[in-house]
Amino acid sequence: MRAAAGALAALGACGDPEGARFPPAPGQLAIVSEGDAAQPDIFLISAAGGNATNLTRHLAFDGGPAWSPDGRRIAFESVRDGNDEIYVMNADGSGVVRLTTDTVLDAQPAWAPDGSRIAFVSRREGNHDIYLVDTGGANVVRLTTEVSAEVQPAWSPDGGKIAFVTDRDGNGEIYVMDADGSNPLNLTRHAAGDLTPAWSPDGSRIAFMSDRDGDFAIYVMNQDGSNVVRLTDSDVPDELPTWSPDGRYIAFDDGNDIWVMRSDGSELRNITNTPFRIDNTPRWRPAMPAATDRIGSRSR
């Protein structure tokens, strides 16, 4: 059983990791879950928990959901055409469009904050590197050229920078570079694995996962790499943090379920709680103007 972490434990709160007494978190998340015939699909779920809606319904692997900045579309990766490719669909699962046609891996899409381009990982030139493509599939640009693996791109909210993970220094480190690939800078500089960067909505902080204290846990640091704070403490790996649009919450997975907590690590609760189904890879839906929200239902 997961122990309540950090601030919550310090306050003397105990037990109740399911969090029924906590106020529900706002909005929705895209997650990856076992769908039909136990093949991973992308689902939409309320941040408050409850039933998830299958958006992909395809027998091939579908994963890596990445929201468009207006919350109306989702980029994702799938092997439905024989190898990993990048696709885009509407937030209700309709209108699937394929963006890549390479015979090698194309994966881990990340939508630019201005909506015009998608960063992704490809092995088309021999090893993992980060590329950009227009949302229509044209104008592919390679951003990294090292022979090491560059993966997990994440745009800063102002669009000026891309955080990513590389093993060019011998272990997983979180780097940040300008959005044209220039000025790469190591933010973590730690011998342990540091992975899956996620910018806070105001751009001031980056959440990530690291095994620097044992198994993988969720951490947060300032955008310049300073002031690293550990947010979770459990006996299972915690991974893939994602911020709520208002910056007040962080969701993550433990490999089997989706958890939500306050961005200081308090009010931890399991929102999937599905012991016989694997749920992972949460991505919080961007805030949408209520007057123009015609896709899906918003939680209150």
Site for Ca ion, rule CB under 5 A: 39, 41, 58, 62, 83, 85, 102, 106, 127, 129, 146, 150, 171, 173, 188, 190, 194
d(CA 106, CA 128): 9
Smallest separation (angstroms) from Ca ion to the CB of 242: 21
Q: Quick one: tokens of 105?
A: 């891996």
Smallest separation (angstroms) from Ca ion to the CB of 149: 6
Smallest separation (angstroms) from Ca ion to the CB of 32: 9
> Among residues 146 and 215, whose Cβ is nearest to Ca ion?
146
End-to-end CA separation in angstroms for the chain? 30
Nearest to 205 by CA among 241, 237, 254, 253: 241
Taking the alpha carbons of 18, 20, 25, 26 in that order, is the dihedral positive or negative?
Answer: positive
> Residue 14, Cβ neighbours under 10 Å: how many?
10
Smallest separation (angstroms) from Ca ion to the CB of 48: 25
Question: Cβ(6)–Cβ(233) under 8 Å?
Answer: yes
Smallest separation (angstroms) from Ca ion to the CB of 169: 7
> Among residues 57 and 247, whose Cβ is nearest to Ca ion?
57
> Among residues 103 and 139, whose Cβ is nearest to Ca ion?
103
> Among residues 4 and 32, whose Cβ is nearest to Ca ion?
32
> Among residues 106 and 254, whose Cβ is nearest to Ca ion?
106
Name the amino acid, one letter, at 260.
V
